[in-house]
Amino acid sequence: MPSRPFIAARIEDRANALVNRVLIRRGWRESILPYIGYGTSEQLRVLARVILQPPQDEAIVQAASALLYRRGWRNFINAPLVGAPLDVVIGDTRIPVVADRGGFVDVRVRNPGLDPGWHELQLEGHGGARATARVQVIADDITFGIVSDIDDTILSTYLPRLTLAAWNSFVLTEQARQAVPGMARFYQQLLAAHPGSPIIFVSTGAWNTFAMIERFTARHGFPLGAVLLTDWGPTNTGWFRSGVDHKRRCLRELARDLPNIKWVLVGDDGQHDPDLYAEFATLQPDHVAARAIRQLTPGEHTLAHGLPMEVALSEERWAPDMAPEVRAPDGDGLAEKLRRLL
C-alpha cells in the first residue's frame, strides 16, 4: 500500500478542489499558460500550466493595467485547475495529457516528425482554452549546450538572500532587475560558435515568474531557450521543495533526454552552484564540457550569505578527472577564460 501524501499536500489538494468548485460556479474559465520546452528527433518535452481565470469582462479590465508593468505579486493571483485534461496538437497528431495536482503539465511525447529548430505546438483544453507553446528540437548530432542559472547569474537585484525571492516575485517589475554585464554577449558568442545548440535556464524560482523571466531575457538580448522552474508549494513528502534537489533532478533529466550533449554549466558562487556542478561533473563526466562560475562582488556576496566574500585560492580549479572550472565577475571575463578551453 502506498503511503499517504504529506499532510501539507493533502491540505493544499483539498483547498484547491474547493477553490476550483467556487470559482467555476462564479464563471471562471480555464486558461493555459504555455512554457518553453525542448526535444529531439524521438521525443518532445512539453511544459505548461492550466489555471482558472475570471470571466472575459473582468479579464479585459485586468488587462488594461498593462502586463509589462504589473507588479510581480499579481503573477501569483491565479488558481490551478487540478487534473485538467488537454490535448497537445502537432500537425495532424493529437496527444491527450492531464495536468497534475498543481495544474502543471510536464510530459514527454513522441516527436511526430518535427525537424531540428524552433516549432510551435498547440495546446487545447477540454473547456475551450487554447495556447501556443514553443519547443526547440535539437538535432541528434549536436554535442554542445549551455545550462544557466538565473538569479545572480544573469540578473541581480542586490538584495539579501532571505528577501530576494520574495522581493523579486511579489514586488519588482522586470524593469527594475539589472542584467549581469556581459552575460548575454557571452551566451550569444557560445551559441554562435555552435549553431543549433540549446541553452536551458534552470532556476529554483517559481513557475509563476516565467513571464517575467521571458520578458527580461528578451529585453536584455539573451538567447531563447527552455526554462525549467519549480513549484514552491508542498510536496508529497514535505512542506516545500528543495531547490538543490530541483536543480540536481533537472541536470539528470537533461543528461538522459539529450545524451549526446556536453554542457557548459553556468552559475554563481553565491549559493550551491559550484558544489552542485562539481557533483554532476564527477557523476556524469561525459555530459560536462566546463563549469563557469560568476563571482559575486563582496557586496553581493555579503547580501547573499550575510558574510564577507570568501576569496578563492585560485580562480580556475578542477581535478584531473573533472571538467574544468573557470571563475570571473562577469560574462566577458568568463568568455575570455573559456575561449582558451573550448
Model pLDDT for residues 259-306, shown as the tens digit of each residue: 999 999 999 998 789 999 999 999 999 999 999 999 998 777 666 655
Supply the pLDDT for residue 317: 55
Q: Which of 85-94, 104-113, 227-236, 321-330 has the lowest mean pLDDT?
A: 227-236
C-alpha cell at 266: 553556468
Q: In whole numbers, what is the pLDDT of the chain averaged over residues?
A: 82
In the chain, which segments carry CATH 3.40.50.1000? 144-339
Going by CATH, does the domain composed of 144-339 fall within 3.40.640.10? no
What pLDDT score does 65 carry?
Answer: 45
Model pLDDT, residue 99: 94
Cβ(31)–Cβ(53) under 8 Å? yes
What would the mean pLDDT of 81-85 be, rounded to a whole number? Answer: 90
Q: Is 273 helix (H, G, I), strand (E, B) or coil?
A: helix
Q: What is the pTM of this model?
A: 0.84
Which of 175, 161, 112, 163 minimizes the C-alpha distance to 296? 161
3-class SS of residue 110 = strand
Q: How many residues does the chain have?
A: 342
Is the pLDDT at 311 greater than 80? The verdict is: no
* Max avg pLDDT among 89-103, 134-148, 168-182: 134-148
192-213: pLDDT as tens digits: 999 999 999 999 888 888 998 9
- Percent of the chain at pLDDT > 90 equals 56
Q: What is the reported pLDDT for 74?
A: 45
For residues 158-164, average pLDDT: 53
User: The domain 7-137: what is its CATH number?
Assistant: 2.60.40
pLDDT of residue 69: 43
Distance (Å, whole) CA 255 – CA 150: 20
Evaluate if residue 157 carries a pLDDT over 80.
Answer: no
Cα 155 from Cα 177, distance rounded (Å): 6
What is the pLDDT at residue 1? Answer: 40
DSSP line for 247-262 = HHHHHHHHHHH-TT-E
Task: Please list the residue range(s) of the chain that carry CATH number 2.60.40.
Answer: 7-137
Q: How do residues 7-56 score in pLDDT, each as one tens digit? A: 555 666 677 767 777 777 788 889 999 999 999 999 999 999 999 888 76
The residue whose grid cell reads 570568501 is: 310
Q: What is the pLDDT of residues 128-150, one digit of tens each?
A: 999 999 999 999 999 999 999 99
CA-to-CA dists, residue 230 to 201, 208, 211, 266, 319, angstroms: 12, 9, 14, 19, 32
pLDDT at residue 248, as a whole number: 95
